[in-house]
Amino acid sequence: MSDEMRLGRERRFLVLLGIICLALIGGALYMQVVLGEAPCPLCILQRYALLLIAIFAFIGAAMRTTRSVTLFEVLVVLSAIGGVAAAGHHVYTQFYPQVSCGIDVLQPIVDGLPLATIFPLGFQVDGFCSTPYPPILGLSLAQWALVAFVLTVILVPLGIYRNRHSKA
């Protein structure tokens, strides 16, 4: 398999990853607007991580050299690690509701980020991290987000390795 075909496979994967991340943000907005599930500071930080992953994935998919695609794949993984931290803390907070998500500390910081002003519906804090919402297929939204971020952290480097070390 030629290098161009291998790079094309990575680019297609990045486009798919970007679409999935945007769909997850769309699902979160649906749950917020239609189901009335107010986002907490950690929810909003997870949305930022998903948005960064999508942006870096789409930019990476547009790159033409292996080095530039790799750079954006690294940025995708770093964004996913940030998502793991936010989602992991959110899951912990849901298991131990007496632990605050830091709404008093995090809310002004998160609400001070540019997207909270530009698109307040999607990026402004309106809830508490410990609020129990109905699970989806047995897992909370924070748990699903954690799964998605962990899979991204694992699958992107694994895909790079497998793709670039595969035999012709």
Cβ contact 91:148 at 8 Å: no
pLDDT in tens, 125-166: 877 777 777 787 888 888 989 999 999 999 998 888 887 776
Distance from C-alpha of 74 to C-alpha of 57, rounded to nearest angstrom: 10
Helices (H), 96-137: 103-111, 114-118, 120-123
Q: What is the mean pLDDT of residues 47-61?
A: 96
* Average per-residue pLDDT for the chain: 85
Token reading at 36: 């009335």
**DSSP symbol at 34:** T
Least confident of 51-60, 85-94, 100-109: 100-109
103, pLDDT greater than 70 = no
- Quickly name the fold that domain 3-164 has: Bromodomain-like (1.20.1550)
Q: Quick one: pLDDT at residue 167?
A: 59
Question: Does the predicted model carry a pTM greater than 0.85?
Answer: yes
